[in-house]
Amino acid sequence: MNSVLLRKQWSKFVLVCHLDSDLGTFGCMVSSHTLLHRHCFPFLPHPCHFLTSIIVASLPCTIISFHRRCNMHSPPLPDRVAPIPPQVPPDSVYTRCYCEENIYLLATEFEARRDIKDRWEVCVAFISNAGKTVALWNQTARPGLVVWDYHVILLLRPWQAKNETADRKGAASWVYDFDTQLPTPCTAQEYIAWTFPIHGQLPEEYQSFFRVIPAPTYLSNFASDRSHMLGDDHDDVSIYNPEGRDHGNPNTDMPSLVKEREDARYISPPPGYPAICGPRAKEKGVKTNLMEAFVRMNNTGCRTECKIEEVETYGQVLDLEGFRAWCHA
């Protein structure tokens, strides 16, 4: 007996199809906790080719169609179930305000796992813009709107097909953000919708760009001495504070720039482990390249006195629509 069981999830409804090539029957049922419909259809005498098109109504205005050309003597249909993304390791290291290092450590762990690398393309995305003022919603830093100078997330994108029976069309890319109020991981579609809900209506100075970098490139070339987090004991530290913003209403005004006194040497306490310097960065004698090579989205804002062509950057810079397309490519 050669049987194939296909299972497809539509929101709360499940379509289960059973193909029995020896008995020449096709079973199809739709369920939502309770059985709604079940049908069995005789097929033409085999061996032969046949075309099936079954329409099953689960609820009013809900119609599910299964349409496939089959060969009674062909091998079982390939497994088309989308891969399930890995959960965040329970022992993951997290340090507030050091998102680039949190993601570096997570990418290191994912790149070390063969089961992840075989299914997923691991990438890192820096979110910023020319003025280093990007508006994000649903962050744990505070309710409502937060304006970061930059933010960093990890992405898992299904690998492209290595054969004609499998591809990543329709499979979701997943986002890992240690500072989001959304589930981690969540699909890229959900992350974009809830983190950038009114992106097109924002002033240009608050719109986000995305530098997408393959994880191996990031792990090898990234270096940070954490100097960007140093504060001056005698100067005020400027931060963006969207005070009093309503978490449930994204249509808020831009936050005002306020001043806060910070007595600590670091604006936020650094991680307890040594500063990160990737192997290729170490070979080149690079001590820090966070802001120029990764955060910077254009040719302005270089802190060092150097020709801009001498600053090596990594990955590709995309606007929101380009990033959305990349996630679903």
Determine how β-strand 209-214 pairs with β-strand 186-187. unpaired
Report pLDDT for 72. 38
Which amino acid type is present at position 87? Answer: Q
* pLDDT (tens digit per residue) in 133-142: 999 999 999 9
**Taking residues 165-179, what's their average pLDDT?**
76
**CA 77/CA 41 separation, integer angstroms:** 19
The distance from CA 182 to its chain's CA centroid, rounded to whole angstroms, is 12
**CA 120/CA 134 separation, integer angstroms:** 28
% pLDDT > 90, the chain: 54
**Taking residues 302-308, what's their average pLDDT?**
38
Is 194 or 232 the better-scoring residue by pLDDT?
Answer: 194
Is 207 or 255 the better-scoring residue by pLDDT?
Answer: 207
Q: Are 138 and 182 in contact (CB under 8 A)?
A: yes
Q: Are 242 and 188 in contact (CB under 8 A)?
A: no
Which amino acid type is present at position 261? Answer: R
Burial tier of 210 (Cβ tally within 10 Å: 0-12, 13-18, 19+): buried
**CA 170/CA 82 separation, integer angstroms:** 8
Could you tell me the two tokens for 48?
A: 């032969």
Buried b (16+ CB within 10 A) or exposed e, 135-161: bbbbbeeebbbbbbebbbbbbbbbeee
Look-up: residue for tokens 């959900």?
190
* pLDDT (tens digit per residue) in 111-148: 999 999 999 999 999 999 999 999 999 999 999 999 99
- CA-nearest of 99, 107, 144, 163 to 126 is 99
**Taking residues 71-95, what's their average pLDDT?**
72
CA atoms within 13 A on the CB side of 18: 12
Q: List residues with catalytic annotation.
A: 99, 151, 177
Cβ neighbours, 10 Å, residue 33: 8
Domains detected in the chain: 3-71 (no CATH), 83-329 (3.10.620.10)
Q: What confidence category does residue 231 fall into, taking pLDDT thresholds of 50, 70 and 90? A: confident
* pLDDT (tens digit per residue) in 258-300: 333 344 489 999 999 999 999 999 999 999 999 999 999 974 3
Report pLDDT for 288. 96
Q: Where are the alpha helices (DSSP H) in the chain?
A: 99-111, 114-117, 188-195, 215-221, 279-283, 320-327
Q: What confidence category does residue 328 fall into, taking pLDDT thresholds of 50, 70 and 90? A: confident
Cis before 203? omega within 30: no
Report pLDDT for 302. 38
Cβ neighbours, 10 Å, residue 297: 23
**CA 92/CA 108 separation, integer angstroms:** 11
**CA 322/CA 242 separation, integer angstroms:** 28
Q: What is the mean pLDDT of the chain?
A: 72
Q: Are 149 and 131 in contact (CB under 8 A)?
A: no
**CA 208/CA 11 separation, integer angstroms:** 31
Look-up: residue for tokens 């305000």?
97
Q: Where are the beta strands (DSSP E) in the chain?
A: 3-10, 13-20, 25-32, 34-42, 49-59, 62-71, 120-128, 134-137, 145-148, 151-158, 174-176, 186-187, 209-214, 237-240, 257-260, 316-318
